[in-house]
Copies of this chain bind each other. A is one copy, B any other.
Amino acid sequence: MRQFVLIGHDVPTDPDFSLDDLAGGAGRLDALCRSITAAFVTSHGIREDVRVHLIAQDEYTITFDGSELRRLNPDERSTAALVRTALEHREDAIGALPAEPSPGVELYRRGFEATLEAIADDGPIVQLHEDGDAIADVRPEALADAVFVLSDHRDFTDEEAGLLEEYADRRLRLGPQLLHADQAITIAHHYLDTAGYERF
């Protein structure tokens, strides 16, 4: 299984935002929605063996499970509606028990560190970062069950960077261009999809 942890520094923690202003009033939720769909959608379906954990301001974690998701469309707006529905159920998340707002979506009352702790044993934790080593030097097989951690339009905070010093097994860079998180996810998938391919 491949997993992606998306840190949303400005993403709303209550559902009182408009789907018509995702890039503005909703804390760049547009970008995070593109990252969620990049992790799951292919031309004709959904990658079932993927999980995405969206950290909302270190307060909630919304987990999407590809094996149970229904009706994830590739557009920003419908994905943002899934996030909004999850936040509408935030009072149902009590202690370690998540709210289950829709199929394949769970909302936990926990932030970045608790989420890292919960998935730390699932596979190598990989921080995607411009100062990392080249992913091309890593055998794709070593990343088959990787947990990729990405920040949104802001850089990792000092606290997040400190946690990643502790938890991350690798810090990797995908290529020479600095890309948006959704583009990075598309390329990480492609790198793993093409394991074993030679190239010029």
Interface of A toward B, CB cutoff 8 Å: 19-20, 22-23, 30-31, 34, 38, 41-44, 73-78, 134, 136-140, 174-180, 183, 186-187, 189-191, 193-194, 197-200
Contacts and interface: CB of A to CB of B under 8 A. Distances in A.
B187 A75 contact: no
B78 A23 contact: yes
B190 A73 contact: no
A197 B177 CA distance: 13
B175 A194 contact: yes
A71 B174 CA distance: 26
A144 B193 CA distance: 24
B20 A194 contact: no
Given A30-B76, A75-B76, A200-B137, A190 B193 contact: no
Contacts of A22: 75, 77
A183 B73 contact: no
A153 to B, nearest CB: 8
A75 B30 contact: yes
A137 B197 CA distance: 10
Contacts of A197: 134, 136, 175
B136 A200 contact: yes
Given A23-B73, A75-B76, A76-B76, A176 B200 contact: no
Top 5 nearest A-B pairs (CB, nearest first) are A43-B178, A136-B199, A30-B75, A23-B75, A139-B200
B78 A43 contact: no
Given A23-B73, A30-B75, A74-B30, A177 B189 contact: yes
Contacts of A41: 180
A185 to B, nearest CB: 9
A115 B38 CA distance: 30
